Amino acid sequence: MTDTLLVHEPAIRVGFFVSVLVIMVLWEISAARRPQAIGRMTRWPGNLMIVVLDTLAVRVLFPVAAVGAALMASDNGWGLLNLAELPAWLSVVLAVLVLDAAIYFQHRVFHAVPWLWRLHRMHHADLEFDVTTALRFHPLEILLSMMIKMAVIVLLGAPVLAVVIFEVLLNATAMFNHGNVRLPLWLDKRLRLIVVTPDMHRVHHSVIRRETDSNFGFNLPWWDRLFGTYRDQPEKGHLGMTIGIEDFRTKRDLRLDLMLVQPFRNSVLSSGRKAGGKGESDAVGKV
């Protein structure tokens, strides 16, 4: 089974990625949650090119990536789950849960540490919120995230199957919860008990700092509730809230070249983070 997964893992991931992306785009067109002032042709070229660069960077520097780390741990008997005598299904479930918790805490750290925030803020600097925002991560952040993920996989001894499931789930749910899609309120309320919904995660992309520093989960919503970072709704409502951060608010900042150099550009926001957030107000920036 492991050999089969290794052979077909790229096709599985690409297949799910393309399928979910197409579904979300069609959903956004037919039932948008918020009107967008900035059109897709302005934002999407940069957002889509970023995911191409991210994929190339990971494949070049980490050809075996997360699944390879799991295989290496299994072959050498490394990690907690390889030392414990647990049923295979339980090891898979535990590994998926631990990996998701690790992503949650990594996300919080990337918000709390100034130089890591410089990498991560490119994701937050999108001036609208839709499925392509889920793909908008700086290549340096993607590479650092991959190193952290591989370390967790090896220390945990995560099974190959668990890693494949987690990678597919994380990718799919990230595109879902970044979608500019409308869900009935009753359905959203029930769904966010088991998965992060678009309305839940949109709060995290608010320009207001205390909202940006909430709802860190990408896949499972439980960590935010458990560790006190859950916020139910944005202060100004989903139609009244402003997406993004206080700096980099021009259409020019949406260009690929400026997105790539953004971590090295000074900003009021990064200064506020370095000072422990004291210098940053909750003022809502305007597009």
pLDDT of residue 65: 84
| Tokens 């005598």 -> residue | 85
| Cα atoms found within 13 Å of the Cα of residue 3, Cβ hemisphere only | 0
Measured distance CA(178)–CA(43) in Å, rounded: 15
247: its two tokens: 């700096």
First to last CA, the chain: 51
Q: Is 32 helix (H, G, I), strand (E, B) or coil?
A: strand
Q: Is 77 helix (H, G, I), strand (E, B) or coil?
A: coil
133: its two tokens: 């925002």
Give the predicted TM-score (pTM) of the model: 0.89
**Secondary structure (DSSP) of 218-248:** SS-SHHHHHTT---SS-TTHHHH--BS-SS-
| Tokens 């220390």 -> residue | 155
Neighbours of 81 (CB within 10 A): 23
For residue 93, give every residue at least 6 positions away whose Cβ sits within 8 Å of its Cβ, in sequence order, or none. Answer: 162
For residue 259, give every residue at least 6 positions away whose Cβ sits within 8 Å of its Cβ, in sequence order, or none. Answer: 46, 50, 122, 125, 136, 138, 253
Q: If we measure between CA atoms, which residue out of 13, 21, 92 comes closest to residue 59?
A: 13
Q: What is the pLDDT along the chain (287 residues), one digit of tens a residue?
A: 566 666 677 788 889 999 999 999 999 999 999 999 999 999 999 999 999 999 999 988 876 789 999 999 999 999 999 999 899 999 999 999 999 999 999 999 999 999 999 999 999 999 999 999 999 999 999 999 999 999 999 999 999 999 999 999 999 999 999 999 999 999 999 999 999 999 999 999 999 999 999 999 999 999 999 999 999 999 999 999 999 999 899 999 999 999 999 999 986 444 444 433 433 333 333 33
**Secondary structure (DSSP) of 163-216:** HHHHHHHHHHHHHHHT--B---HHHHHHHTTTS--HHHHHGGGBSSHHHHTS--
Angle at 75 between CA 71 and CA 79, to 5 degrees: 80
Q: Residue type for 275, please?
A: A
